[in-house]
Chain A
Amino acid sequence: MSIATPTDDVPVRAPRSAWSRWTRPVLGLILPIGLAVAWEFAVRAGFSNGRLVPPPSVIFATFKELWQSGELQKHAFATSMRVAAGFGVGVVSGTVFGAITGYSALTRRLIDPSLQALRAIPSIAWVPLFILWFGIYEASKIILISVGVFFPVYLGVMGAIRSVDRKLVEVGRAFRLSPLAMVRRILLPAVLPAYVISLRTGLGLGWMFVVAAELLGASEGLGYLLIDGQQLGKPAQIVAAIVAFAIIGKITDWIIVLATAPLLRWEDTSARTEGN
């Protein structure tokens, strides 16, 4: 935040913060766009042939070409399906385990140490085992992704349930809520903000792990485009696939945010914007 002097009053400060809300992202764009434009000119002027680092125009052309041939959609769809399946499995299992361990101290003491130990293993280390167990096709990929999604969701749900304000639970008790009503009317709404954050973290890890899974061998998917671009020496295709990853990843994150926004309107907005 900017420095606020005691004499600053709200009407004076409001337009200034609205101004900085728009200029801040714009400031951040100057460097990448500037570099892209500079590189484009450098290649056009013949300072470099741009073979290993293709200029923006070539990347855009490759992107367009992949799109028009339907390749891009096909690969993006395959990757998205894997993420969706792995995300689904990871979220359901993470939520169930997180809810159980968050709710009951006994199961937490029983299960949590083992899960924490598993979490300490770099997940990519599982790949050879998963391939042995589940084969080289979809199953092992989806399971790897769901492992990546599982842990943030599990930790998020467990932490959220444990930190539910006991005083609000007591309000529920004073109004004689049944156990089910207590979950529905107090616990669920109370954990929702933290749950959404853990879903977004889990999704981000899902996208990370799908790349790992596809790099290790796939006949379709954006990760396949990456490997194919490397093997055939097509850097523009690699960058185009990376851009596609970025776009789809951001869109799916937005979907979570937009889908849950109506449920989180009550949250203190100042708390949400504080992280800027």
Chain B
Amino acid sequence: MLALDRVGKTYPNGVRALDGVTLAIKPGEILAIVGGSGCGKSTLLRAVSGLDRPTQGQVTLDNEKIEKPHEKIGIIFQEPRLLPWLTVADNVGFGLHDRPSSERKERVARALERVGMPEKAGAWPRELSGGQAQRVAIARALVPRPEVLLLDEPFSALDAFTRADLQDHLLKLWSDLKPTLVLVTHDVDEAVVLADRILVMRPRPGRVFEEIEADLPRPRDRQSAAFDFVKRRVLAALDRSLDRTVSVNEGQEKAETGAAMWW
């Protein structure tokens, strides 16, 4: 169980990016986080990953405090961040360096098969399209079998068609090992297609504004009325998260943000 206990982060320049976020995420749960730009989504994810430390509160995984990157926690960034000097296969196997090479080869081959690009094992990253590169990044993060996988707007740089394709791939891979997924996205459709629970955040300081259960059967039908219902709830919550009536005392700050401009 991944737990956040009153997690807050104040950057050295005084920006309060995160304040009092308390969350419990069940093993195997898919949690999506949406919210306006600058409301602390990346800060939250980096605190969970151990790449940055919160200034208040703590993150624990199975009661173990996370203070630096942990072997059970994987992260996928907005950009694929493949190492250009390694082949696709070596990139996928990057986190398996301490394993015997036969095991490494087998797991890499299987992962490449799962993301649908076994024929690219020997290719260089520069030879891949954006979508292929992100698929390799997903394989690289999943191959060490993390219990928690964090994704920070992983598909936002891709076109809609590739994005839908990668969402399917991600779900397929998730169903293999059922890791906990924490997905930051600015695509409400993406959140509703993937998540069990959707967290809407609001800025200054960043905190949880609303939680929405997306209790839909899988695979999800984007055309169904239930899907549309959840999506509308999320959109409404996003709008409200920026509505100036919500926080009268912050009127001066709110004036900078347009009501519907939550992304």
Q: Which residues of A contact B (CB under 8 A)?
A: 167-168, 170-171, 173-176, 181, 185-186, 189-190, 192, 265-268
Contact = CB atoms under 8 A, between A and B. Distances in A.
A274 to B, nearest CB: 14
A59 B263 CA distance: 74
13 contacts: A167-B77, A167-B81, A171-B81, A171-B94, A173-B69, A174-B49, A175-B69, A175-B94, A176-B69, A176-B70, A181-B97, A266-B86, A268-B84
Chain B CB within 10 Å, residue with most, of A175, A176, A190, A267: A175
B83 A186 contact: yes
Interface in B71-86: 71, 74-75, 77, 79, 81, 83-86
B67 to A, nearest CB: 12
Interface of B: 49, 51, 68-71, 74-75, 77, 79, 81, 83-86, 94-95, 97, 124-126
A176 B71 contact: yes
Main secondary structure of the interface of B (DSSP, over half): loop
Contacts of B126: 266, 268
Contacts of A266: 84-86, 124-126
Nearest to B84: A266
A186 B86 CA distance: 10
Contact of A168 (B75, B83, B95): B83
A174 B83 contact: no
Nearest to A263: B85
B83 A173 contact: no
Given A173-B69, A174-B75, A175-B95, A189 B85 contact: yes
Nearest to A170: B51
B51 A167 contact: no
B211 to A, nearest CB: 28
Contacts of B77: 167, 170
Nearest to B150: A174
A94 to B, nearest CB: 23
A176 B125 CA distance: 22
Given A189-B85, A266-B126, 8 more contacts: A167-B79, A168-B81, A171-B81, A171-B83, A174-B51, A176-B71, A266-B85, A268-B84
Nearest to A171: B81
Contacts of B74: 174
B82 to A, nearest CB: 9
A35 B174 CA distance: 72
Contacts of B69: 173-176
Nearest to B141: A174
A119 B54 CA distance: 45
B43 to A, nearest CB: 15
Contacts of A168: 81, 83
A268 B84 CA distance: 9
B51 A173 contact: yes
Contacts of B86: 266
The residue in B71, B74, B95 that gathers the most chain A C-beta atoms within 10 A of its C-beta is B95
B124 to A, nearest CB: 5
Contacts of A186: 83
Contacts of B70: 176
Contacts of A181: 97
Nearest to B87: A266
A167 B49 CA distance: 15
A251 B87 CA distance: 31
Nearest to A189: B85
A218 to B, nearest CB: 43
Nearest to B124: A266
A265 B75 CA distance: 28
Contacts of B94: 171, 175
A192 B85 CA distance: 10
Contacts of B81: 167-168, 170-171
A173, A186, A266, A267 pick with most chain B CB within 10 angstroms = A266
Shortest 9 CB-CB distances between A and B: which pairs? A189-B85, A266-B85, A175-B95, A176-B69, A171-B81, A268-B126, A266-B124, A174-B69, A174-B75
Contacts of B97: 181, 185
A185 B96 CA distance: 13
A265 B127 CA distance: 12
A173 B51 CA distance: 7
Contact of B83 (A189, A265, A268): A189
